Amino acid sequence: MNQDKLAEISFFDKWFESHDYDVFTESGYQVLINTFKSLAGEGLEQGCRAIDLGCGTGAFTRRMFKSASAKTYGIDLAPGAIQVAERYDRRTRYLTGDIEKLDFPDNHFDLIIYSGVLHHMPSISSTLKEGLRVLKKGGRMLSFDPNLSNPLMWLYRHPDSPFFSDLGKTSNERLLGDEEMENRLKNTGFANVQVFAVSGISFGWVESAVGRRLLPIYNLIDRLLGKLPIASRYGSFLICSGEK
Protein backbone atom coordinates (compact mmCIF):
# COMPACT_ATOMS: atom_id res chain seq x y z
CA MET A 1 0.00 0.00 0.00
CA ASN A 2 1.37 3.40 -1.01
CA GLN A 3 0.97 6.68 0.81
CA ASP A 4 -1.50 9.17 -0.67
CA LYS A 5 1.08 11.93 -0.93
CA LEU A 6 -1.32 14.44 -2.44
CA ALA A 7 -3.52 14.13 0.65
CA GLU A 8 -0.53 14.90 2.87
CA ILE A 9 0.51 17.91 0.79
CA SER A 10 -3.04 19.28 0.71
CA PHE A 11 -3.53 18.84 4.46
CA PHE A 12 -0.36 20.60 5.56
CA ASP A 13 -0.21 23.25 2.83
CA LYS A 14 -3.55 24.65 3.96
CA TRP A 15 -1.64 26.15 6.91
CA PHE A 16 0.72 28.09 4.64
CA GLU A 17 -1.30 31.32 4.53
CA SER A 18 -2.66 31.10 8.08
CA HIS A 19 -0.32 29.86 10.81
CA ASP A 20 2.12 27.25 12.02
CA TYR A 21 0.83 23.70 12.48
CA ASP A 22 1.50 23.78 16.20
CA VAL A 23 -0.70 21.37 18.17
CA PHE A 24 1.10 20.81 21.49
CA THR A 25 1.49 23.12 24.46
CA GLU A 26 4.98 24.29 25.37
CA SER A 27 4.98 21.88 28.33
CA GLY A 28 3.97 19.09 25.94
CA TYR A 29 6.87 19.86 23.62
CA GLN A 30 9.20 19.94 26.60
CA VAL A 31 8.24 16.40 27.61
CA LEU A 32 9.14 15.21 24.12
CA ILE A 33 12.36 17.19 23.94
CA ASN A 34 13.56 16.04 27.36
CA THR A 35 12.81 12.43 26.41
CA PHE A 36 14.58 12.71 23.05
CA LYS A 37 17.63 14.50 24.42
CA SER A 38 18.07 11.75 27.00
CA LEU A 39 18.16 9.24 24.13
CA ALA A 40 20.02 11.24 21.47
CA GLY A 41 23.54 10.48 22.67
CA GLU A 42 26.10 12.58 20.81
CA GLY A 43 23.86 13.21 17.80
CA LEU A 44 23.28 16.89 18.58
CA GLU A 45 26.89 17.81 19.29
CA GLN A 46 29.16 20.00 17.18
CA GLY A 47 30.38 18.31 14.03
CA CYS A 48 27.32 16.05 13.82
CA ARG A 49 24.44 16.13 11.36
CA ALA A 50 20.82 15.71 12.50
CA ILE A 51 17.60 15.69 10.49
CA ASP A 52 13.87 15.71 11.21
CA LEU A 53 12.26 13.48 8.59
CA GLY A 54 8.69 14.70 8.03
CA CYS A 55 9.15 18.00 9.82
CA GLY A 56 5.89 19.62 8.68
CA THR A 57 5.98 23.32 9.51
CA GLY A 58 8.90 22.78 11.86
CA ALA A 59 7.06 23.30 15.15
CA PHE A 60 8.87 20.41 16.83
CA THR A 61 12.04 20.72 14.75
CA ARG A 62 12.96 24.23 15.80
CA ARG A 63 12.33 23.46 19.47
CA MET A 64 14.32 20.21 19.39
CA PHE A 65 17.27 21.73 17.53
CA LYS A 66 17.18 25.16 19.21
CA SER A 67 20.35 24.72 21.24
CA ALA A 68 21.93 21.96 19.16
CA SER A 69 25.52 22.36 18.00
CA ALA A 70 24.96 19.90 15.15
CA LYS A 71 24.24 20.92 11.57
CA THR A 72 20.47 20.47 11.42
CA TYR A 73 17.99 19.76 8.64
CA GLY A 74 14.24 19.33 8.24
CA ILE A 75 12.50 17.73 5.26
CA ASP A 76 8.83 17.46 4.35
CA LEU A 77 6.67 16.58 1.38
CA ALA A 78 4.57 19.77 1.51
CA PRO A 79 6.22 22.88 -0.04
CA GLY A 80 3.90 25.25 1.81
CA ALA A 81 4.76 23.67 5.15
CA ILE A 82 8.47 24.12 4.40
CA GLN A 83 7.90 27.80 3.63
CA VAL A 84 6.27 28.21 7.04
CA ALA A 85 9.17 26.36 8.70
CA GLU A 86 11.68 28.70 7.05
CA ARG A 87 9.67 31.72 8.17
CA TYR A 88 9.98 30.71 11.83
CA ASP A 89 13.48 29.20 11.86
CA ARG A 90 16.58 30.35 9.97
CA ARG A 91 19.22 28.18 11.67
CA THR A 92 17.92 24.82 10.35
CA ARG A 93 18.07 24.03 6.65
CA TYR A 94 14.57 23.05 5.47
CA LEU A 95 14.01 21.07 2.28
CA THR A 96 11.02 19.84 0.32
CA GLY A 97 11.30 16.11 -0.33
CA ASP A 98 10.02 12.58 0.14
CA ILE A 99 11.29 10.75 3.24
CA GLU A 100 10.80 7.46 1.40
CA LYS A 101 13.30 8.59 -1.26
CA LEU A 102 15.90 10.82 0.37
CA ASP A 103 18.35 12.84 -1.70
CA PHE A 104 21.23 12.20 0.72
CA PRO A 105 24.17 9.78 0.47
CA ASP A 106 24.57 6.66 2.59
CA ASN A 107 25.92 7.07 6.14
CA HIS A 108 25.33 10.85 6.19
CA PHE A 109 23.56 11.61 9.51
CA ASP A 110 24.42 11.04 13.16
CA LEU A 111 20.78 11.44 14.24
CA ILE A 112 17.49 11.02 12.39
CA ILE A 113 14.16 11.96 13.93
CA TYR A 114 10.65 11.09 12.78
CA SER A 115 8.51 13.67 14.60
CA GLY A 116 4.97 12.31 14.47
CA VAL A 117 5.23 11.14 10.86
CA LEU A 118 5.56 7.34 10.86
CA HIS A 119 1.85 6.90 11.58
CA HIS A 120 1.26 8.72 8.26
CA MET A 121 3.24 6.04 6.37
CA PRO A 122 1.43 2.89 5.17
CA SER A 123 4.83 1.33 4.43
CA ILE A 124 6.66 2.01 7.69
CA SER A 125 9.33 -0.61 7.00
CA SER A 126 10.43 0.98 3.72
CA THR A 127 10.48 4.40 5.38
CA LEU A 128 12.67 3.08 8.19
CA LYS A 129 14.93 1.30 5.69
CA GLU A 130 15.59 4.59 3.91
CA GLY A 131 16.33 6.27 7.23
CA LEU A 132 18.73 3.48 8.14
CA ARG A 133 20.52 3.97 4.81
CA VAL A 134 21.36 7.63 5.48
CA LEU A 135 22.29 6.99 9.13
CA LYS A 136 25.95 6.59 10.07
CA LYS A 137 27.26 3.49 11.79
CA GLY A 138 26.58 4.06 15.48
CA GLY A 139 24.01 6.77 14.69
CA ARG A 140 20.60 6.89 16.32
CA MET A 141 16.99 7.00 15.15
CA LEU A 142 14.18 8.52 17.30
CA SER A 143 10.44 8.83 16.72
CA PHE A 144 7.14 9.64 18.40
CA ASP A 145 3.63 8.70 17.27
CA PRO A 146 0.14 8.27 18.80
CA ASN A 147 -0.15 5.07 20.82
CA LEU A 148 -2.74 2.45 19.84
CA SER A 149 -2.86 1.17 23.44
CA ASN A 150 -3.78 4.54 24.93
CA PRO A 151 -7.54 4.50 25.74
CA LEU A 152 -8.15 8.17 24.91
CA MET A 153 -6.25 8.02 21.64
CA TRP A 154 -8.24 4.93 20.71
CA LEU A 155 -11.55 6.59 21.53
CA TYR A 156 -10.74 9.68 19.45
CA ARG A 157 -8.76 8.26 16.54
CA HIS A 158 -9.60 4.59 16.02
CA PRO A 159 -12.24 3.92 13.33
CA ASP A 160 -13.87 1.26 15.53
CA SER A 161 -14.54 3.76 18.31
CA PRO A 162 -18.07 5.20 18.65
CA PHE A 163 -16.42 8.60 19.28
CA PHE A 164 -14.06 8.46 16.30
CA SER A 165 -13.32 11.80 14.61
CA ASP A 166 -11.50 12.22 11.30
CA LEU A 167 -11.27 16.01 11.62
CA GLY A 168 -7.66 17.15 11.40
CA LYS A 169 -6.63 13.71 10.17
CA THR A 170 -5.35 12.67 6.76
CA SER A 171 -6.47 9.46 5.06
CA ASN A 172 -3.02 7.97 5.66
CA GLU A 173 -2.99 8.18 9.46
CA ARG A 174 -3.43 5.36 11.94
CA LEU A 175 -2.48 4.57 15.53
CA LEU A 176 0.69 2.52 16.09
CA GLY A 177 1.27 -0.29 18.57
CA ASP A 178 4.42 -1.02 20.56
CA GLU A 179 4.83 -4.61 19.36
CA GLU A 180 4.42 -3.57 15.73
CA MET A 181 7.04 -0.83 16.05
CA GLU A 182 9.52 -3.01 17.91
CA ASN A 183 9.23 -5.71 15.25
CA ARG A 184 9.54 -3.25 12.38
CA LEU A 185 12.63 -1.59 13.82
CA LYS A 186 14.37 -4.89 14.51
CA ASN A 187 13.41 -6.39 11.15
CA THR A 188 14.69 -3.28 9.36
CA GLY A 189 18.09 -3.76 10.97
CA PHE A 190 18.15 -1.34 13.90
CA ALA A 191 19.99 -2.48 17.04
CA ASN A 192 19.43 -1.64 20.73
CA VAL A 193 15.77 -0.98 20.01
CA GLN A 194 13.64 0.67 22.68
CA VAL A 195 9.88 1.23 22.39
CA PHE A 196 7.92 2.72 25.26
CA ALA A 197 5.04 5.11 25.88
CA VAL A 198 4.97 8.50 27.59
CA SER A 199 2.21 10.81 28.78
CA GLY A 200 2.13 14.50 29.63
CA ILE A 201 2.38 15.59 25.98
CA SER A 202 -0.53 17.97 26.32
CA PHE A 203 -2.40 19.35 23.31
CA GLY A 204 -3.04 23.03 22.79
CA TRP A 205 -5.22 22.64 19.71
CA VAL A 206 -7.23 20.09 17.71
CA GLU A 207 -9.38 20.78 14.66
CA SER A 208 -12.61 19.42 16.13
CA ALA A 209 -14.58 22.13 17.99
CA VAL A 210 -15.93 19.51 20.39
CA GLY A 211 -12.42 18.15 20.88
CA ARG A 212 -11.10 21.62 21.73
CA ARG A 213 -13.71 22.00 24.46
CA LEU A 214 -12.67 18.65 25.92
CA LEU A 215 -8.92 19.29 25.75
CA PRO A 216 -8.57 20.42 29.40
CA ILE A 217 -10.12 17.11 30.52
CA TYR A 218 -7.94 15.09 28.14
CA ASN A 219 -4.77 16.91 29.21
CA LEU A 220 -5.57 16.43 32.91
CA ILE A 221 -6.19 12.69 32.49
CA ASP A 222 -3.04 12.35 30.40
CA ARG A 223 -0.91 14.11 33.02
CA LEU A 224 -2.33 11.91 35.77
CA LEU A 225 -1.66 8.79 33.68
CA GLY A 226 1.94 9.92 33.29
CA LYS A 227 2.45 9.59 37.05
CA LEU A 228 1.43 5.92 37.05
CA PRO A 229 3.67 2.91 36.33
CA ILE A 230 1.37 1.85 33.48
CA ALA A 231 2.29 5.01 31.52
CA SER A 232 5.20 3.19 29.86
CA ARG A 233 2.66 0.90 28.20
CA TYR A 234 -0.50 3.03 27.93
CA GLY A 235 0.85 6.58 27.62
CA SER A 236 -0.49 8.74 24.81
CA PHE A 237 2.59 8.61 22.57
CA LEU A 238 5.00 5.85 21.59
CA ILE A 239 8.69 6.72 21.72
CA CYS A 240 11.00 4.62 19.55
CA SER A 241 14.78 4.53 19.55
CA GLY A 242 17.28 2.44 17.64
CA GLU A 243 20.91 2.44 16.53
CA LYS A 244 22.68 1.50 13.31
Q: Kindly report, residue by residue over 72-130, the tens digit of the pLDDT.
A: 999 999 898 898 899 999 999 999 999 999 999 999 999 999 999 999 998 899 999 99
pLDDT average, residue stretch 24-38 = 95
Residue 15 pLDDT > 80, yes or no?
no
Cα within 13 Å of Cα(80), Cβ side: 15
For the chain, how many structural domains are there in total?
Answer: 1
Given this model, what pLDDT does residue 74 score? 98
Residue 184 pLDDT > 80, yes or no?
yes
pLDDT average, residue stretch 34-49 = 96
- Kind and range of the H or E run holding 135: strand 135-146
| 231 within 8 A of 225, measured Cβ to Cβ | yes
Given this model, what pLDDT does residue 18 score? 53
Given this model, what pLDDT does residue 71 score? 98
Given this model, what pLDDT does residue 148 score? 97
pTM of the model: 0.92
> Could you tell me the residue range of the domain that residue 146 belongs to?
5-243
| 162 within 8 A of 134, measured Cβ to Cβ | no
Q: How far apart are CA 144 and CA 42, in angstroms?
A: 19
Name the β-bridge partners of 203: 24
Q: Over the chain, what is the mean pLDDT?
A: 91
Say which CATH number the domain at 47 has.
Answer: 3.40.50.150
Percent of the chain with pLDDT over 90: 71
